[in-house]
Amino acid sequence: MEKHKSLSYLSRRSFLRNSVIAATGVVLLPSALISCSDDETGLDPQGDFGFFEGVASFDPTQDKVILWTRYTAATNETGKPVILLDVATDRTFSKVVVSESVEIDTASDNTVNVDVSNLSSNTRYYYRFRNERTGATSVVGETKTLPKVGEATEVRMAVVSCANFQSGLFNVYGAVAESNADFVVHLGDYIYEYAIGGYGSNALTASLGREHQPEGEILRLEDYRARYRQYRGDEQLQKAHQLKPFICVWDDHEITNNAYKDGAQNHQPNEGDYSTRKLTALQVWHEYLPARVNDNAKIYRSFEVAGIVNLMMLDTRIVGRDKQLEYGNFLTQTGINEAAFLAAWQNPSRTILGTEQRSWLMSRLAASQARWQVLGSQVLMGKMFIPTELLLMTAQIAASNPTPELFLRFNTLVAQLVAIKTRILQGDPTVTSAERARVETVLPYNLDAWDGYPVEREMVFAAAAGKDLISLAGDTHNAWHSQLTDASRRKIGVEFATPSVTSPGFEAIFGNSPQVIAGVEQSFALLIDDLEYLNASQRGFMLVTFSNNNAQADWRYVGTVSSKTTATTSGRTATEV
């Protein structure tokens, strides 16, 4: 097959291979659907076989849910394995609504994806997969359909992102499994592409048994599949999938670091064709994290929940994103060429969504009557404009092995800027124009976020005007709470951004000193106008609860990722009315 035809096929290919209709009030036994010969039922299975990657459910609606597993066949099991799916409304499977054979796809790494329909809304279901020939049975999974209008007064979602296997234990996933969340919103970086010893590795990686498999950077189809199998072999991630339905989007590390539609920072010419790598990575993503979409390259989609939430999951990474701007391309001997940077930054044609997705988002915002319009956006939407002096020194620290002298200079600079900003806020008439310029001459901190695409952000803000807008974001590994304001300083909504599952936050730049981290958190919150809260060093998730009265975010943190624990503490609660 010609290359361009192959790539087009991968983009269109459907991974929802089975469609099952639940039978209301009917019990179907496997024997009524499958007849096995004496040789088949009498198989003495050899080798390691079974459902080693557990079970999972995805994309719940009021009447549908996608159920998933992966089966490893016995070494003496011939032909395509026959897998039976049971779905019931009780743990003992006495009230079965589905009992049917479903297809295993040996061309998709032996995964099984089943879209079950005709379910009841706001209902908990139990499911399992079985192979009668080998006697293998999966764990029992739990899932829940979404409520219709009037069936729930609250909607609870756990929000997670950025789980680097090499960085530590997935305690956050264990805590999510034990939470009272109705479902999980995963904002991406579900896997990381790096080799053993690459980004995220630390002194405990080897002793914890967290070294990446395969050992090299993942580039090819089997590499990506092996990496997903490693992550899905994790006990705590399996537990989260077993007990909660997930709604997922990808970020960059499912492909490679700082990806965009035509390339990526971590893709080099000697690593092959980027388009092939990208579509291979997206194929495997759908094999392991199925989404109910018509085109596998377009994962933006929406979920209406109880008339309270209109959840719009976006792709701010791949489908439409133009290449990120880089400050390094605007540096001169005297600093940043601000005129050149501003011209590029304010280019009205630059997009993070692409025109098709932007039109879809605007139409969804206009049509929805839900109380809360909620964006599942991989990257920060809030404005992180910091004083240019502070931006340059932060970049210097991030790009080097900082010395105590550099940290001293940083602390001195922060103290000066905080003092000036405090005097301005207090109305001090002695603040000079030069001092004011030091804190009011600002640039965006992160050009890989919505801050790098300000014109399009204003378009979205205009479309959301008059709505109650909440942005959920991940990507940065830190926790943030920000006001969303447009170019006229009018409030459009708020942003709740989740910390990472394991990936290092600002402590990877500034070190682990509590005093230094506290200083960074306090100074950023003061110097960045729209920022209300920053946690720069702890791992965790957000439990976000929506009602017709308010939206409340609770940032939950685990104490460590170096030893197993699911205990969490609440670091902050923010309420929007």
Per DSSP, the residues of 413-438 read HHHHHHHHHHHHHTT-TT--HHHHHH
How far, in Å, CA of 165 to CA of 202, rounded?
A: 11
Alpha-helical runs (H) found in 233-354? 235-243, 274-288, 338-345
Which residue range forms the structural domain that includes residue 84?
A: 15-145
Residue given tokens 């590499």 in the structure block: 223
In 445-503 the beta strands, taken as DSSP E runs, fall at 469-473, 479-485, 491-497
Tokens of 156: 């609870």
Q: Is 33 inside any structural domain?
A: yes
Q: Is residue 392 part of a domain?
A: no
119 lies in a domain? Answer: yes
Q: Which residues of the chain have pLDDT under 50?
A: 1-4, 6-7, 26-40
pLDDT at residue 400, as a whole number: 87
336 within domain boundaries: no
Number of folded domains in the chain? 1
Element spanning 4, H or E: helix 3-12
Kindly state whether residue 153 falls inside one of the protein's structural domains: no
Neighbours of 436 (CB within 10 A): 14
**Which pLDDT does position 22 carry in this prediction?**
93
For 33-80, the pLDDT digits (tens) are 444 443 445 689 999 999 999 999 999 999 999 999 999 999 999 988
Residue 321 included in any domain: no
Whether residue 90 is contained in a domain is answered as yes
Residue 255 in any domain: the answer is no
Q: Check which CATH number belongs to the domain holding 109 and give it.
A: 2.60.40.380
